[in-house]
Structure 1
Amino acid sequence: MASITNKFKVSNGKSFSLKDHDPDYADGFRKGDSKRILENLIAETFDLQTELYAANKYSLLIIFQAMDAAGKDSAIAHTMSGLNPQGCQVYSFKQPSAEDYAHDFLWRHHRALPERGRIGIHNRSHYENVLITKVHPDLLLKENLPDVSSVKDVTGKFWDKRYESIRSFENHITENGTVIIKFFLNVSKHEQKDRFLKRIDDAKKNWKFSAADIEERKKWDDYMLAYEKAITETATKDSPWYVIPADKKWFTRIAISTIILETLRGLNLKYPVLPKEEKDRLDESKKELELEKE
């Protein structure tokens, strides 16, 4: 299982290229075994989630980024299905509100960080500010930034500063106990087309589709360049990206669950050890309970 973690992990973006990552890869796994494997992974993750909460030392931030129809929602639903909901919080970031635009681009994401002991899942994230805004720089005008009065002001230097802000933000929260896992669900353009067509024909899902999805699809190459650049600029040892094959949803879920489990294992979590005085009080309480008459 650890080989999955190592294979998809990008901790240094200097030589990163999306062309090196096959969206249809399945690492020799078989679909027929996927349900059993996923159940086992989730069961062990549940135990470690309890230790994470009890230790109250770290929090875990899991970021999901992807093109439309890559399977973010279903991946979150399946990989988190067996965890304790009291220890999880999911935020799905939509278009910024007027209040969001009145602050810096990281503000709403900082507010949504998980507390110590908890797991936070961000469906889309602060990376939208170097993805959709990279493809549609006119959106930056809504931020009313001091040095951006027109799209012409959005230069390479602007993006360098924005990547730097993201690296600094992630470094800061990492140093303060937030462990970050960043997933890019790497779906192929062909698979996205198939899923769009199925979504349109499915009455339970066609409400999720809009004509705007087709317009965004026409900018596929621009988005791939934006993702590649974002990963290149922000993949670090302490805040790595994981480029997950997303053409086979069943394998996507195995890969995500494996990486979450391996990350939690790596924290060497332990239940708190009670001080001697507390332990003595517990022993006294036990004796009292045992002496009680039914």
Structure 2
Amino acid sequence: MPIKKRTMKIRLWKLLAAGIISCSAEQAAAQQHPVYAQYLFNGMVVNPAYPSMDEFSSATVVARNQWVGMEGAPSTGTFSFYSPLKATRTSIGFLAMQDKITIYSQTGFHLNVSQKVKLDDKLFLALGLKGGMEQFRENNTHLATDDPVFAQDQQYWKTDIGFGFMLYSEKFFVGLAAPSFHNFDLGNSVNKVAFKRHLYLHGGMILDVNKDIKFRPGLLFRQVGGAGIQMDVNASFLFKNVLWAGVTWRTEKTAAAMMQLQLTKGFQLGYAYDFASAGYLNGIQSGSHELMLNYRFSFTKGKTLTPRMF
């Protein structure tokens, strides 16, 4: 390939990544912290205090393909596990994540610990901490260029720490979290990527419509670095403690429809379809797909598994 065409291809890949990040506040987070449609069923990705809200052990796998049909579009895979420690109010967990966009990838491994305190008969306060390592890669050799700036793949490891609080009862929760607490820059003077602190304020409640139907409204506010505040508004209905059906709307001009089906007492399968209402994405992609599989269980024999509301 002629040098001029190679250089043009490199610039196109770089522009695609930059365009995806800059034109959508959602993807600005996804380059650093992926945005999930079904985060309420996998809350540890947002708030390290989340495991303390659950009396049972839980393992969750999430696969997300964003903006299907667009070359170099983001894809994300996540595995999380947490479990309460017997005879304590402490929960421990593990979170692994990989996120890819064009030639960039991010892989993280984190340990999580949370502790809850009983404030009264129905109200609890939980504190969560997480720590781990994240690897950032820039696969420049895939660009097939003679430019020495892009002659080698770039790889960086960074420590990552975060914390969160949750105030909750059986009927509501309010949380505040910074799952990545520090800012840092990666790359060199030619290619520099800034990773910003993420802050989340989120909450929800559960309301009984009748004996068979429950309604769960929720809000999430997200602030990344010096950017403005982004908001998710979601609403879901639970039918006979078996089927969740809901929608989410985001101020980044995207929305999602989702369903979660309780296959057995322990297994839950979820699917979400995201679509963009912004004109700059229409006609060049066919939406985003997110698949979730969750398994909840107890190490204590004879303990009855109850449906999870949050």
State TM-score, norm by structure 1: 0.29
The structure carrying a bigger helix percent of its residues is 1
Please identify which structure carries the higher strand content: 2
The structure that has the greater radius of gyration is 1
Normalising by structure 2, report the TM-score. 0.28
- Greater relative contact order (Cα < 8 A, sep 6+): 1
